[in-house]
Each structure stands twice: as C-alpha cells, then as structure tokens.
C-alpha cells in the first residue's frame, strides 16, 4: 500500500481537497473545528504534506531543516556576538556543513502551532531534518521519518531507526563536580537543574550524583533547585538557595546561562565568588569568558553537533538503507576563576 495522499485525508475528514490544502498552506482561513478534524485524519493516516512543485518534480529541495525549542533569553541582545546561545552555536555548525555539501538551511525555532504546524510548514520543504530532543513528540518524529531522514540531537535515543547525536553530559558533570570536591575541598554542593523534561539536565544531575557518591558525600534524590535555562531563571534559583538558610559552598548549574544569572544574584547579595562560594555551569557559551569572575564550565562541541548532524543527513540521503548510527561526542572541562582556579590570560 502506498503512502497516504491528500485525497485519502479529504475523504476521511469528509472535506474537499481544497480544504485540506488550505489547512496546510493557510490554516488561519479554515475554521478551527474543521482544521482539527483534518489534522486528526492526517495523523491517523500517517500523511505528511508534499513539498513545493520543485520538490515534487526533482524529489529534492536542496534544503535541510533544523528545529529546536525557543529557549531565547529576552535579556540577551541578538546582535551581541559574546552572547551566543547553545542553539545558535549548533545552527552555525549546521550552516557551515550545509554550505559545504551544497544545501541551504531552514530553521524552525518555535512551535506555536504545535507539531502539526511543524510538519505542515517544514517537513515538506526539506530533504532532511535535525531535531533537538523533546522538541517534537516521538509519534510525530515517526510520522516525519516516513518521508525524510531525521537526526535527533541531544537526549536519549528514543527511536531506534533514526540517527542520533548526543554529548557526554553525565561524564562531563561527573568530572567537573569531582574537580570541585577533590581539588577545591568543597563538600556542600547544590545542583540547579533545568526543566524536568530536559534529558540533558537529567543526565548532568546524574553525573553530579555520581561524583557525590564516589566521594562518600550525601547524595540528593532531587536537584536543590530548578530554573528554565535562562539568566532570569538562574538568578531566581540562586535567590531561593540563599534564603534556605545553610549556604552551599558551590552552586552547580545545569547550563551557563543560569550560572551567569546566579553570579548576578550572588554579587547583589554580597557573596564573593569564589571566596565564599564557587559557581560552575555547562555548555561553554562565549559569554562565560567575559563575565567576572569568568565562568568555569563543561564545554560541549556545539558547532560540531551541528556539523555532524548535517553529515549524517547527507549520508542518509545518499544511502537510505544504511544502518542507523548513534554517536556520543566528548566534552572538556574549562576551568576558570569562578571555581577558584587561576583566572586565564585574556584571549
């Protein structure tokens, strides 16, 4: 049986073909009840809209796609090169590799219309697609992967037949926490996690727990605080920790943006870093170099993630039947002044 067509969707939803087309091309022109019925029928049938005429004729659009959740921090100015964020670095890596392979890059940075909007607006216009973890539901990824190659970036491997990339989150956090304990003699450490649905934050907390366990220190079953991966979230998490009474000797943040926000709260409260408290992050964003004190962190190869995602998509396009690959990229410690290490010389 062939792939479902627009005719199948129209018949199942009891609408015209033109209505199905409008749902995907101009959804605002279709009544919500009708639109929901069409999308439900498409999901049940496993229908993915075709691309534009060029794509239909050549079976190739010359475009690769990237989708990531919109974690944009409104306090960061987009035009400040020192304030590049995690997804921006991955995008740069994908853009560089896409140009090398002769492709353009289409980016979907938010999902206001939900997964159906993503499938409608992007999946039919690209030859392959890279998706950051937890951006699209597993069943929707399955739907997309019926029509085009999909690479998952970050988080655990959810679908066995898809290519998958991640970094050594747990190992990196274990090594950094061990550095605080073994090299700086710290014993009271607090972990600030991201959202509960973040697989990267979960892996980093597991590495934190592993380091405490290896040092025979009390191991918390839950993070000491949570943020939302933004500087504002880090500021608020640090405030809550300081108001609990017993002050930790170190705050270990699940990403650099929250760590930088935490530094701001500590400065306002008169807590000296690192004399009174160490602060560390994770990611290695450029802003960590220029804050004072400069931020100790785990640096992950963000641009390499993007480049490798493109390489895997291009390989899959050339050989659709090859075995799926799962790669874990290494991370490195970047020791700076915020943990008590010497301030590195200016670059």
Q: Using the 8-state DSSP alphabet, how is residue 76 labeled?
A: S
pLDDT exceeds 90 at position 334: yes
259-297, pLDDT tens digit by residue? Answer: 999 999 999 999 999 999 999 999 999 889 999 999 999
- Give all domains of the chain, ordered by start, each with its CATH number: 6-27+57-167+303-329 (3.40.50.2300), 169-300+333-339 (3.40.50.2300)
Tell me: cis bond preceding 274? Omega within 30 of 0 counts.
yes
CA distances from 46 to 17, 61, 146, 167, 314 (A): 17, 21, 8, 32, 24
Q: Using the 8-state DSSP alphabet, how is residue 283 labeled?
A: B
The SS3 call for residue 45 is helix
Higher pLDDT residue, 37 or 85? 37
pTM of the predicted structure, to 2 decimals: 0.77
CA distances from 273 to 3, 244, 249, 306 (A): 60, 19, 10, 34
What is the side-by-side order of every strand in the sheet holding 225-226?
A: 225-226, 189-193, 250-253, 278-280
pLDDT tier for residue 246 given thresholds of 50, 70 and 90: confident
Per this entry, what is the length of the chain?
347
86-130, pLDDT tens digit by residue? Answer: 778 888 899 999 989 998 888 776 555 555 555 556 666 788 889
Q: What is the pLDDT of residue 27?
A: 73
- Burial pattern 209-225, b for ≥16 Cβ within 10 A else e, equals bbbbeebebeeeeebbb
In the chain, the percentage of residues whose pLDDT exceeds 70 is 85
pLDDT tier for residue 166 given thresholds of 50, 70 and 90: very high
CA distance 185 to 187: 7
CA distance 34 to 42: 12
Host H or E run for residue 189: strand 189-193
Closest-CA residue to 329 (of 89, 90, 167, 151): 167
């Amino acid at each position: 049986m062939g792939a479902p067509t627009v005719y199948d969707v129209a018949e199942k939803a009891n609408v015209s073909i033109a209505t199905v087309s409008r749902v995907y091309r101009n959804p605002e022109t279709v009544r919500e009840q009708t639109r929901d019925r069409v999308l439900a029928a498409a999901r049940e049938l496993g229908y993915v809209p075709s691309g534009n005429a060029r794509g239909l004729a050549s079976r190739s659009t010359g475009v690769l796609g990237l989708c990531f959740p919109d974690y944009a921090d409104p306090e960061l100015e987009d035009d400040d090169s020192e304030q590049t964020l995690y997804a921006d670095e991955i995008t740069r890596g994908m853009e560089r590799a896409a140009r090398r392979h002769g492709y353009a890059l289409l980016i979907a940075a938010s999902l206001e219309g939900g997964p159906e909007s993503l499938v409608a607006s992007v999946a039919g216009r690209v030859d392959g697609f890279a998706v950051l973890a937890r951006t699209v539901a597993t069943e929707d990824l399955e739907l997309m992967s019926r029509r085009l190659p999909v690479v998952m970036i970050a988080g655990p491997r959810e679908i066995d037949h898809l290519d998958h990339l991640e970094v050594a989150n747990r190992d990196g956090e274990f090594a950094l926490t061990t550095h605080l304990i073994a090299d700086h003699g710290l014993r009271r450490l607090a972990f600030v996690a991201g959202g509960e649905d973040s697989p990267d934050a979960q892996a980093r907390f597991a590495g934190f727990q592993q380091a405490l366990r290896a040092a025979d220190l009390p191991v918390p079953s839950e993070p000491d605080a949570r943020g939302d991966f933004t500087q504002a979230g880090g500021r608020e998490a640090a405030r809550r920790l300081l108001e609990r009474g017993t002050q930790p000797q170190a705050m270990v943040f699940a990403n650099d943006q929250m760590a930088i926000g935490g530094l701001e709260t500590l400065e306002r409260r008169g807590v000296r870093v690192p004399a009174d408290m160490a602060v560390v992050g994770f990611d290695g964003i450029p802003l960590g170099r220029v804050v004072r004190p400069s931020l100790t962190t785990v640096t992950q190869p963000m641009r390499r993630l993007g480049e490798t995602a493109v390489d895997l998509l291009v390989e899959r396009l050339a050989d659709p039947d090859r075995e799926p690959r799962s790669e874990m990229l290494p991370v490195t410690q970047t020791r700076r002044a915020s943990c008590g290490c010497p301030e590195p010389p200016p670059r």
